[in-house]
Amino acid sequence: MSKTKVVMTIAGSDSGGGAGIQADLKTFQSIGVFGTTVLTGVTAQNTAGVQNAVHLESSLVAEQFKSVAEDMEISAVKTGMLSNAQIIETVSDNLASFSTKPWIVIDPVLAATSGDLLLERQAVSTLLEKLIPISDIITPNIPEAEILTGINIDHSKDLQKAAHKLKEAGAKSVLIKGGHTSGNATDHFFWEDEYHTFSAERVGVGSLHGTGCTLGSAICAYLSKTDDLLTSIKLAKKYVTQAINNSFTIGEGSKVLLHSSIGDEEVQEKEELNA
Ligand SMILES: Nc1ncnc2c1ncn2[C@@H]1O[C@H](COP(=O)(O)OP(=O)(O)OP(=O)(O)O)[C@@H](O)[C@H]1O
Ligand SMILES: Cc1ncc(CO)c(N)n1
């Protein structure tokens, strides 16, 4: 039997259970990897919005990181809510300290679905300087890509320009998510000189909560299993689409996703694709 892969999410808590570290752990469990956590902050949050948010001391962020990384071999890391510049710097320093570099997936969370801010605006430049250069993949939604690059995204040419700017900032690859558009839910992937799209029929279920966290943590989980970017994005897109198809109402606000076990046969697709 192959060894269970250990992955890490560096993110905030969503008390409502739909996004943040809770969504990440549910995704890891469903895909069959062992999830560890470095908590950056705690939100009082539900499906309707964020009622309060408190970030942790960066020294405690560093200690959690050390406790896990000294004990286990981490094969992939995903970041979510990072709250402020100090936490970003701590995360960047700690990620740089791995002797064997894990895959690094950066979900540049700036705000919740409800619009509440989850990263201080003045920390955007720190994210660009400290974290993006060490990422294997960064996964902004369209509003996040606009804020990170200062480019208004109206046409496909704008997507290209924004991705180019993020690659110039040091990202190895860029996946711009298409949740915030109309028509099909198409994600645009820019990697070296390659361009790929990952598309699914838009599910007309109204507002959703936790889609971005789920996609990012699924990419992280599959990277740990397959060591292959394209395969991981393809499988993660399939995972999030299925969870969206099965989404349900649990509170007054956005719907939440249903995470269901997938099993190793999905990963066999890699072998089939490579055969
Ligand atoms: N209604 C939908 N139907 C199908 N797929 C969707 C839908 N909405 C979002 N997606 C997909 O979900 C994934 C996450 O994209 P999205 O743009 O929603 O991320 P996000 O805005 O970061 O999420 P969040 O709202 O949780 O912060 C993408 O693969 C996107 O295409
Ligand atoms: C804690 C947390 N992280 C990320 C998101 C983004 O959906 C959220 N709403 N809450």
Q: What's the pLDDT tens digit per position in 187-205? A: 999 999 999 999 999 998 7
- Domain 6-274: which topology? UDP-N-acetylmuramoyl-L-alanine:D-glutamate ligase (3.40.1190)
The pLDDT value given to residue 263: 57
Ligand 1 in reach of 179 Cβ (< 6 A)? yes
The pLDDT value given to residue 38: 98
Q: Locate the domains of the chain by residue range.
A: 6-274
Ligand 1 in reach of 254 Cβ (< 6 A)? no
Quick: pLDDT tens for 102-113. Answer: 999 999 999 887
Nearest residue (CA) to ligand 1, atom 15: 179
Mean pLDDT of 141-166: 96
The pLDDT value given to residue 74: 98
Q: Report the 3 state secondary structure along the chain.
A: CCCCCEEEEEEEEECCCCCHHHHHHHHHHHHCCEEEEEEEEEEEECCCCEEEEEECCHHHHHHHHHHHHHHCCEEEEEECCCECHHHHHHHHHHHHCCCCCCEEEECCCCECCCCCECECHHHHHHHHHHHHHHCCEECCEHHHHHHHHCCCCCCHHHHHHHHHHHHHCCCCEEEEECCCCCCCEEEEEEECCEEEEEEECCCCCCCEECHHHHHHHHHHHHHHHHCCHHHHHHHHHHHHHHHHHCCECCCCCCEECCCCCCCHHHCHHHHHHHC
The pLDDT value given to residue 264: 53
The pLDDT value given to residue 112: 82
Residue 216 CA: nearest ligand 1 atom is: 14
The pLDDT value given to residue 201: 95
Quick: pLDDT tens for 51-73. Answer: 999 999 999 999 999 999 999 99
Rounded to the nearest integer, the mean pLDDT of the chain is 93
Confidence band, pLDDT 50/70/90 cuts, at residue 266: low
Which of 137, 144, 177, when mutated, tests ligand 1's pocket best, judged by the most ligand atoms within 8 Å of its CB? Answer: 177
The pLDDT value given to residue 116: 81
Nearest residue (CA) to ligand 1, atom 4: 202
Mean pLDDT of 158-172: 97
Nearest residue (CA) to ligand 1, atom 14: 212
Asked if the model's pLDDT at residue 1 lies above 70, the reply is: no
Residue 13 CA: nearest ligand 2 atom is: 1
Residue 186 CA: nearest ligand 1 atom is: 31
The pTM for the full model equals: 0.95
The pLDDT value given to residue 205: 72
Share of the chain above pLDDT 70, in %: 94
